[in-house]
Chains A and B, each alone.
Chain A
Amino acid sequence: ETGVTQTPRHLVMGMTNKKSLKCEQHLGHNAMYWYKQSAKKPLELMFVYNFKEQTENNSVPSRFSPECPNSSHLFLHLHTLQPEDSALYLCASRQNTGELFFGEGSRLTVL
């Protein structure tokens, strides 16, 4: 239990669906991250939010749309995804000393 909760844990969607991933942290951190983990690839940083402001967009396609309404919640809105977007999406929050604390991830399958 790291204090970072992600829902849903598993999601299957068609290419025309719209869905959202949710992340909530109870650690009092001010920065939150989305990472993508695909098979056989390193973890890829997608977005960083610091005090609710987006500070990093790592050239992520617009079919992924993040939202950070407050420092404790982070969403990843998904629409018209492709099968190659199937992956484990990991949310993390950052402690002031730099450590990231991760959730268990949302396993996404795009059919």
Chain B
Amino acid sequence: AQKVTQAQTEISVVEKEDVTLDCVYETRDTTYYLFWYKQPPSGELVFLIRRNSFDEQNEISGRYSWNFQKSTSSFNFTITASQVVDSAVYFCALSGGSNYKLTFGKGTLLTVNP
């Protein structure tokens, strides 16, 4: 069975602070994929990143960066110099091998205050 845990239910920061959203996963698959999605108030889930289990390189995209560590089964997401527009619910998700059923965590509500 697959499981994704986002222990932080809500995080509140002040603009320009850095913030890290935690994600811990469980799977028995040797090949799997990890994802992060952003859900703004409009409701649509916006795809941010996909990582496969063979690639542990960290990734940076602008103010966003992701730290994938298989040893701790974690795939954390950091926003540098947060902005008000970053306020949203962020979901971590997992799918195993060729099984493209994404299992989502419960999400972390990030509020960035001006």
Chain A interface, number of residues (Cβ within 8 angstroms): 22
Main secondary structure, interface of B, reads strand
Known contacts being A41-B106, A42-B106, is A99 close to B101, with CB within 8 Å?
no
Q: By DSSP majority rule, is chain A's interface helix, strand, loop, or mixed?
A: strand
Residues of A within 8 A of B47 (CB): 2, 99-102
Number of chain B interface residues as a range: 20 to 34
What's the Cα separation between A92 and B101 when bound, in Å? 11
Q: Which of A71-101 contact B (CB under 8 A)?
A: 88, 90, 92, 94, 97-101
Q: Which residues of A contact B (CB under 8 A)?
A: 2, 31, 41-43, 45, 48, 56, 88, 90, 92, 94, 97-105, 107
B residues near A (Cβ < 8 Å) are: 33, 35, 37, 42-47, 50, 91, 95, 100-107
